[in-house]
Amino acid sequence: MDGVAPEVELKAQIRAALVPSPYRLSPAARHGTIRYRLGERDGAVGWSWPQTGEQSAVRTSDGLELTVCKQCGRETAPDAETLRRYLAPTPWLQSDDRAVIGFARAAGSGSVDARMRRLVAAVQARLSGPVVYSGYHSAREALARREGDCTEYALLLAAAARARGMPARVVAGLAYGSRFVGQAHAFGPHMWVQVWNAERWVSYDAGMGEFDAGHLALAVGDGSPDSLRGAMQAIAGLRIEDAFGVVNEERATN
């Protein structure tokens, strides 16, 4: 029973960290462009929101305006040194580990997108055990344990991508779910992966199956706890005041 109590407590903590959605976001809406108006307080005030190829953030007199879709942001292309850094193994993304390298062969050949989709499926199949919220396990540990939550899904996916020569970074933020630990229509803390495809960074989410406009990125890093520090404090200070679909995607990039 000792292992049950911490899991119950962790679920309660996650439930407390959920950010309610003002509306039910349908799959059709999430596959388009969504513009959010966010209120900020405490740890969220002044938070440096990442500008990515899938997200743009602007502070207005009404609060923070965040626009999310698969191609509605602008991000400067990384230089060679940055790409080398996102290819290198780390203590959390052991892309040089023999077991991780073997696992990553599931990527096969083809385009970056084709290889990443295969790796997403491989991670989902490998981490088929119960969802375990306790701990922060590295890619190698996740591979051996065969269980975890979105953290382990993201770290294993990023390490496997790097093992196959695809620069990968880990994103921490919020993701919309129709149900999170018993609460309907809320945004919960989440992690996923972005991979460089020689033109732009593209998101892949092994935990939820796919990236969509229900993903709000708060921090981008190498997957280490230090690189994502502060994100949970920022989440605690956020409220989503409004959300609406953008019909003309060109408006979202202006």
Q: What pLDDT, on a 0 to 100 scale, did the predictor assign at position 156?
A: 99
At 42, is the pLDDT very low, low, confident or very high (cuts 50, 70, 90)? confident
Q: Which residue has the higher pLDDT, 139 or 45?
A: 139
- Angle of helix 150-163 relative to helix 112-126, nearest 10 degrees, comes to 140
Average pLDDT, whole number, for the chain? 90
CB contact at 8 A, 202 and 194: yes
Q: What pLDDT, on a 0 to 100 scale, did the predictor assign at position 194?
A: 99
Residue 221: domain span: 4-252
Query: Which helix (H) or strand (E) covers residue 202, if one does?
Result: strand 201-204
pLDDT digits (tens, 9 = 90+) for 204-231: 999 999 999 999 999 999 999 988 888 9
Closest listed residue to residue 156, CA positions, set 234, 97, 239, 215? 97
For the chain, how many structural domains are there in total?
A: 1
CB contact at 8 A, 64 and 86: no
pLDDT digits (tens, 9 = 90+) for 69-108: 988 888 999 999 999 999 999 999 999 999 999 999 999 9
Closest listed residue to residue 177, CA positions, set 30, 1, 2, 13? 30
CA distances from 174 to 46, 91, 132 (A): 17, 25, 18
Q: What pLDDT, on a 0 to 100 scale, did the predictor assign at position 253?
A: 40
Residue 49 three-state SS: coil
Residue 196 three-state SS: strand
Q: What pLDDT, on a 0 to 100 scale, did the predictor assign at position 1?
A: 33
Q: Give dist(CA 158, CA 222) in Å, integer.
A: 9
Q: What pLDDT, on a 0 to 100 scale, did the predictor assign at position 152?
A: 97
User: 110 pairs with which residues across the strands?
Assistant: none
- For 41-45, 66-70, 144-148, 184-188, which range has the lowest pLDDT when averaged over its residues? 41-45
> Could you tell me the pTM of the whole model?
0.91
Whichever domain contains 162, its CATH number is 3.10.620.30
CA distances from 107 to 89, 148, 164, 207, 213 (A): 18, 21, 8, 17, 26
pLDDT digits (tens, 9 = 90+) for 127-169: 998 888 778 999 999 999 999 999 999 999 999 999 999 999 9
Q: What is the DSSP string of 166-189?
A: --EEEEEEEEEEEEETTEEEEEEE
Q: What pLDDT, on a 0 to 100 scale, did the predictor assign at position 44?
A: 84
One-letter identity of residue 79: D
Length of the chain: 254
